[in-house]
């Protein structure tokens, strides 16, 4: 949630309650005092409208899930402000005599103020529900971030394991190359040994034949 929005919201709620009290007080006034009180209320309504515009601007610059919650609050505040404007218009309409004012106070205005009070009560309840929804959104966001961090950690572990496997594969590939080279060397040595063996056998055979010939000629 936005701290700036919360500050504007507190100011509006305090201002709305103050304006409602001034409307009630204006009902018992006459003449210039009544006009002065109505002027104060109208000035307060302008301040309230400015706060709502600021809250609207702040809410629209936030993330979509938070913005939806805050705009729902704003709809309640705008409805409350419209009720206050209606009250001011009814109080300031015409120059009522004492009997008419008393009748208005006892009937229409009393009902209007009660309705406004009920509206503000519903507004506070709706605000509380929205705050609970905001808390749930925060919890969901925190869970999502924790899950994302866990996923990143798992991916990092998998990457490290992949690097280890690639290193082991390269090592085994090098061992296979060395084994192939050793096998070729041993094969070459074996061939040389076989060739040397045949050469020695041939030399021995020649020597044996020569010895036999020498003995034959001597004995003859």
Query: What's the pLDDT at 60?
Result: 87
Answer yes or no: are the C-beta atoms of 29 and 37 closer than 8 Å: yes
Query: What's the pLDDT at 89?
Result: 85
Taking 70 as the pLDDT cut, the residues of the chain under it are 1-2, 94-127, 129-134, 137, 140, 220
- H helices of the chain, where? 3-26, 31-60, 64-92, 98-106, 108-219
DSSP string, 77-114: HHHHHHHHHHHHHHHHSS---HHHHHHHHHTHHHHHHH
Query: What's the pLDDT at 33?
Result: 84
Task: Provide the whole-model pTM.
Answer: 0.44
C-alpha–C-alpha distance, residues 219 and 210, integer Å: 14
């Amino acid at each position: 949630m936005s701290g700036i929005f919360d500050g504007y919201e507190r100011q509006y709620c305090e201002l709305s309650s103050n304006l409602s009290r001034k409307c009630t007080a204006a009902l018992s006034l006459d003449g210039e005092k009544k006009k002065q009180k109505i002027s104060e209320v109208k000035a307060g309504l302008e301040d309230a409208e400015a706060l709502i515009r600021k809250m609207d601007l702040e809410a629209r610059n936030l993330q979509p899930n938070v913005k939806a919650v805050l705009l729902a609050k704003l709809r309640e505040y705008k409805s409350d402000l419209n009720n206050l404007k209606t009250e001011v218009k009814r109080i300031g309409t015409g120059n009522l005599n004492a009997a008419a004012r008393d009748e208005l106070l006892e009937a229409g205005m009393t009902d209007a103020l009660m309705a406004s009070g009920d509206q503000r009560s519903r507004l506070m309840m709706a605000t509380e529900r929205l705050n609970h929804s905001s808390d749930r959104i925060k919890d969901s966001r925190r869970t999502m971030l924790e899950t994302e961090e866990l996923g990143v950690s798992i991916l990092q572990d998998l990457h490290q394991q992949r690097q280890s496997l690639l290193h082991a594969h390269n090592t085994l590939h090098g061992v296979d190359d060395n084994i192939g080279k050793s096998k070729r060397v041993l094969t070459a040595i074996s061939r040389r040994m076989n060739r040397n063996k045949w050469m020695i056998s041939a030399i021995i055979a020649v020597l044996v034949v020569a010895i036999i010939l020498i003995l034959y000629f001597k004995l003859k």
